[in-house]
Chains A and B, each alone.
Chain A
């Protein structure tokens, strides 16, 4: 009676073997392990050709075994298009005709089971299951157990895994953790944590301690920015923002990382709270920046001009219908000196492939 042996025998299995010998344990093929499940929908005959091509892609065999089996199997399956396992011409799939019978093709040690089914919607499905047949060595007792007749709910099951009960799940890999800090952070939070922890961030353009994108800081501005930072009590490392992020939490509440509403932030204008339409917007401290690229946003402008002082208002001119930027914007500072510095600092600055033009805003002709 065929039995099997294992490549790696547990130590006590040797003792089992030594006892009553009916010769060396012979081999025994396992009916097969589920390798992959593949479903494709078959519609009209014209789409049939497309789907057979899809079938040619086979998924990797799950690596059910350790040791030497692994590499061989997956490469093997990658190389074999399923079509070679099934050389007979594709059966006619005329709508309304009876379904073709299920087929089993054994090609070397790959068994391909093809089944046809009709879904509730009347769609025909072709299910291709690929099994890898392996011969393994096992101790006598194990091999004997492999040949037990199935009982209970599995009594009428065919040999091999039953689809209703056994499926191969998606790939999961063990995430290795080397230090305790990694334990608590999720993948999404990782960049955030890294940012917060980092003090040294260098801009590609000017090597200042801020992010490169939309870098307005030339070397001349670096020390100015540091001054500002010291004034506001921020550490230099916290100046950077992710592109697109709004103003960061201010110094007073920085350490807790809590959200601070704009009206309570440092340098925030309380006037923003009132809904009164006296929007003088600090006319004397308003500058106009032109030659902006069309994908510049308010947030970019915020980032760009924030270091010069507290901003009262940003107006980015946009086309009413398309919403696309018209290429210019008005920035209103709270203090005129800040606005003056901004003009000096940003004028002529290269921002996203265009040279920015900054000047005092002419008063609106209302």
Chain B
């Protein structure tokens, strides 16, 4: 396959996300630029200008009308997807680490870092209520006292938030009351990324403890583990096959003598049920920070520490590949 290389960022990529139909790919990085690309040919549609610091997270609503980004400049911004205009600016006390639209696209949540004396909070805003945005008052704010939240997604049907913490715990917070519904600790180190399956019944967590784990969304029951020798920065589930892709690698500063070979950092494909690796794709020049599957399962993208995003359309061998147990 000939991957399309997107060079829209000057710093390392922090997150990439497809919109619901998969025709647009949003990429954010440690530079203040938010890019959106057509995933079919890699053509850039536009950039959302306004952030002044590293952008940690991005999300698009189901309709691809609004885009939400959270940044280290202590703000979470809402943009109009088509024009690039900034619709709302929500100032926070510390860097915004994760953000997301709920299923209906009306409620946004974001989590802030534990920084400068401020605790880690998860804030909820209802977009249908303009007073909340204007006054910058969320209708609910969940404090989290122990380790800060490093990754969070909306649960199925917008009923809960599934959050991964710096210490490796997973918490399920109710979106109505804010209390902790379920708590599990399966990972030993920081959870870097959480991504849901297409039907939202399960999710995969990528952790610094060199594993990625599969969980059930409602009970948070641990189902499968995928082991690697490197910290896993991101994991994504294929929407139509039993495959999961893991992207990882050591932090840039930790790499001393290892892997100076060009393009060696690989995205690894595991079989979901057998927990075994069946494929690798090379190409990145640095650790992969974010992976995402296209909603139709025919392609995937990965964004790396090198600042490049690569869109890969699978060869027929991938679709014909049968895992021999």
Residues of chain A whose beta carbon lies under 8 Å from any beta carbon of chain B = 8, 10, 13, 30-34, 62-66, 70, 136, 138-139, 141-142, 145-146, 148-155, 157, 160-162, 164-178, 180, 183
Contacts and interface: CB of A to CB of B under 8 A. Distances in A.
B1 interface: yes
B323 to A, nearest CB: 8
Interface string B11-23: 0000000000111
B5 A150 contact: no
Contact of B318 (A10, A162, A174): A174
B42 A34 contact: yes
A146 B47 contact: no
Contacts of B313: 63-66
A165 B45 contact: no
A146 B280 contact: no
Contact of A145 (B23, B41, B298, B321): B23
B83 A166 contact: no
Contacts of A172: 1-3, 281-283, 312
A161 B24 contact: no
B231 interface: no
Chain B interface residue count: which class?
35 or more
Question: Which interface residue of A150, A153, A160, A174 has the most chain B CB atoms within 10 A?
Answer: A174
A168 B45 contact: no
Given A145-B24, A146-B23, A176 B4 contact: no
A171 B278 CA distance: 19
Nearest to B21: A142
Contact of A166 (B2, B5, B22): B5
Contact of B2 (A31, A170, A177): A170
Given A172-B283, A174-B279, A166 B7 contact: yes
B319 to A, nearest CB: 7
A136 B23 CA distance: 12
Contacts of B221: none
12 contacts: A31-B43, A64-B2, A149-B83, A151-B84, A153-B8, A155-B46, A166-B37, A173-B1, A174-B269, A174-B315, A175-B282, A176-B321
B279 A168 contact: no
B64 A64 contact: no
B31 to A, nearest CB: 12
A167 B7 CA distance: 8
Given A145-B64, A174-B279, A166 B4 contact: yes
B162 interface: no
Contacts of A171: 1-2
A245 to B, nearest CB: 25
Given A30-B41, A65-B313, A148-B82, A10 B295 contact: yes
Contacts of A166: 4-7, 37, 41-44
B296 interface: yes
Given A138-B23, A161-B42, A176-B278, 16 more contacts: A64-B2, A64-B4, A64-B313, A139-B21, A142-B23, A146-B38, A148-B45, A151-B46, A152-B48, A153-B49, A154-B47, A162-B43, A166-B43, A172-B2, A172-B281, A175-B282
